[in-house]
Amino acid sequence: MLFWSIEVPYLCVPEIFLDANATTPVLPEISQIVQRLCCNQFGNPSSSHLAGMMPKQIIAEARNAAAQLFRVADGRFIFNSGATEGINTAVLSVLAPYAGKAQEDTVLLYGATEHKAVPEALKHWNQVLGVKAKLLEIPTATNGALNIEFIKAHASKALMLCTMGANNETGVVQDLAAIANAIGGKDKKVPWLVDSVQVLGKVALNLGELPIDYATFSAHKLYGPKGTGCLFIRHGAPYTPLQQGGGQEHGERGGTENVAGIAALARIFDWLIHPQNSPLHSMETLSAYREQLLNALKKLFPELVLNQPYPESLPTTINFSVPGFHSGQIIAMFDAAGIRVSAGSACSKGRPQSFVLKAMGLPSWQCEGAIRLSFGPASSAEFIQMAATRINAMADRKQASEQGRVSGLWIPEPFDVGFAAYADETEKTLYWVGDSEKVKAWLNARFPSNDWCYTNLAPGSYEFGSYQFNVDSAETFRVMHQGTKRTLTLNDKGVALSDSNHTRIETIGPDEVALGNHFLIDVREPLETCMQAAPNFSGEALISERADWCRLALELTNSEIGLPMVAICRSGGRSTTVAALIAALGGPTVLSCDGGVTDVVHLLAAKESVI
């Protein structure tokens, strides 16, 4: 069997999860509590027999712990399924008294960088209840701070004010005391919701001092299970239950309580009340960890730009962009190296753009390229060191991969931009045709204008190496390989491939690929291939980055390979495109792997039982 000769452990790296602002793992101490309450003390707190006593007691203690932690004297906590439910409950509570009574001259004020749950809940309940208030976004400065003057100017017309403690993408911490002052302090009129999800465990929140009416919390952001949270409600603030039922939570939230989740939350509160007995680290330690990771990131990308005020933001969050890269490329690179980070952006049409960074007025390249790297407050020094070491190793591999092929045909964005170039390394000349503006960043990185002479091709016919360029105009041109006689036609939008080209391509699963009976053509980007090699079943796997796909489609023959060929990428999208491009030009049959290199590597590893 071929696969036994492959060094799988080298290809297979343990996962490093650096996306704690999205969620955190349940820590063993918490999972033991959850297990005990699910398996042993599983009684229903509403039961009047003895089995209900312990769960009832646990809920009461959790409520007391919440009050103690947040220094609450005049309010209460309701346990629920998390922050989204808390936000909806708060909005419903404020708007329900206006149901059916249109309030056209009023506004619902919310921060432009809120989590989507806030504007969506406002929109939903405003419409369902027929309140007809206007939704009004509070603008932010470039450092993410809400415009306090704007809040001051609109508070008197606001039915509700929604702000957040800290932002999930950027870690920007809002000045809640300044907001409180802007709306009149303790004498304020407008009901105020603070989404406190990201401050829990990172920034102290004093609900005894601040005139906040509603505050939402979620356990899974601080090592608790998903689907558990709580809502703080100030005494006297309007309240309408989101769900009615058997009278649980003093009639304020129907439904049998998630006792295991509440007990987990109680333990988290207890850690925060007694930090000396907790696995959570101090802000100083976390800030030093962040600095350590940032230094490693700067080695990987010396030109990175931070999209957050530093060091003033949450000490567990780094948000950065790198000129010349969009976030998908960087995530793919980290993913291949076994590090999970996120774009911190919602996917809209075209390239994903972070609405949070857009609201902060950052340039669009930063919004398109944003990467969020976040770790939990219980991260150990060893974990941070391991992450920094892995990122440093990525930097070394990236540097080594930058010394690849230079001469020959290059078409950097084959399906988006009409641009082709032929590089002659001995003459240090790049002959090009098409729209160079749209591929400027790629050109600068690959062929720096200080070292290379750029020559634009006017209409006509040219020969470079084995290639013939036929230029009809700057928008339409053909490239022919003189050996295979295959021709590629480009217009101003690049190569036209119809969907039917893709649907005719035969796919193959990673399990079949893992049998090792195919020749692999790895069509991921250099940033990915240098982080995780594809298994080499028969000599070297052929590597072809996007800018090289057209050359591959023009030149590829199977005469020497002798095995069926499979294109492989991260998840099966790019591999189908490349196989379709090769087929469209009349090249040899290439199958597309409908999984990715990581799937194949893990299947091989499972066979060797190394993971």
Q: How many CA atoms lie within 13 A of 166 on its CB side?
A: 25
Burial degree of 460 (CB within 10 A; 0-12, 13-18, 19+): exposed
CA dihedral 219, 225, 226, 227 (to 10 degrees): -80
Least Å from the CB of residue 228 to ligand PLP: 8
Q: Which helix (H) or strand (E) holds 453?
A: strand 453-456
Asked if 229 interacts with ligand PLP (CB under 6 A), we say: yes
State the number of binding residues for ligand PLP (CB under 6 A). Answer: 12
Question: Which residue type occupies 607?
Answer: K
Asked if 170 interacts with ligand PLP (CB under 6 A), we say: no
Residue nearest to ligand PLP (CB): 82
> Which listed range, 82-90, 131-139, 307-315, 582-590, lies at the site for ligand PLP (CB under 6 A)?
82-90
> Which listed range, 77-85, 151-159, 263-271, 486-494, lies at the site for ligand PLP (CB under 6 A)?
77-85
Please name every residue paired with 212 in a beta bridge, in sequence order, or none if there are none: none
Residue 595 and residue 572 in contact, taking contact as beta carbons nearer than 8 Å? yes
Asked if 418 interacts with ligand PLP (CB under 6 A), we say: no
Cβ neighbour number for residue 74 with a 10 Å cutoff: 9
d(CA 119, CA 359): 14
Residue 138: φ, ψ to 5°: -85, 120
Nearest residue to 543 via CA among 557, 529, 562, 560: 529
Least Å from the CB of residue 258 to ligand PLP: 13
Asked if 164 interacts with ligand PLP (CB under 6 A), we say: yes
Asked if 525 interacts with ligand PLP (CB under 6 A), we say: no
Each residue 84-113 as x (binds ligand PLP by CB under 6 A) or -, in order, gives: x-----------------------------
Least Å from the CB of residue 547 to ligand PLP: 36
Residue 188's contacts (CB-CB under 8 Å, 6 or more residues apart) are: 155, 180, 211
Residue 119 vs 494, nearer CB to ligand PLP: 119
Residue 195 vs 522, nearer CB to ligand PLP: 195
> Which listed range, 195-203, 205-213, 355-363, 562-570, lies at the site for ligand PLP (CB under 6 A)?
195-203
**Of positions 58, 67, 69, 83, contacts ligand PLP by CB under 6 A:** 83
Would you list the DSSP string of 288-345?
A: HHHHHHHHHHHHH-TT-EESS-TTTS-TTEEEEE-TT--HHHHHHHHHHTTEE-B--S
Q: To 10 degrees, what angle do helices 597-608 and 327-336 make?
A: 10
Residue 197 vs 421, nearer CB to ligand PLP: 197
**Of positions 106, 126, 168, 327, contacts ligand PLP by CB under 6 A:** 168
Residue 265 vs 556, nearer CB to ligand PLP: 265
d(CA 249, CA 275): 29
**Of positions 76, 115, 281, 524, contacts ligand PLP by CB under 6 A:** 115
Least Å from the CB of residue 162 to ligand PLP: 11
Least Å from the CB of residue 117 to ligand PLP: 5
Least Å from the CB of residue 224 to ligand PLP: 10
Residue 319 vs 592, nearer CB to ligand PLP: 319
Window 371-400: residues binding ligand PLP (CB under 6 A): none
Q: What angle do CA 145, 147, 153 make, to 5 degrees?
A: 160
Cα distances (Å, whole numbers) of residue 486 to 465, 551, 554: 15, 10, 6
Binding site for ligand PLP (CB under 6 A): 82-84, 115, 117, 164, 168, 195, 197-198, 218, 229
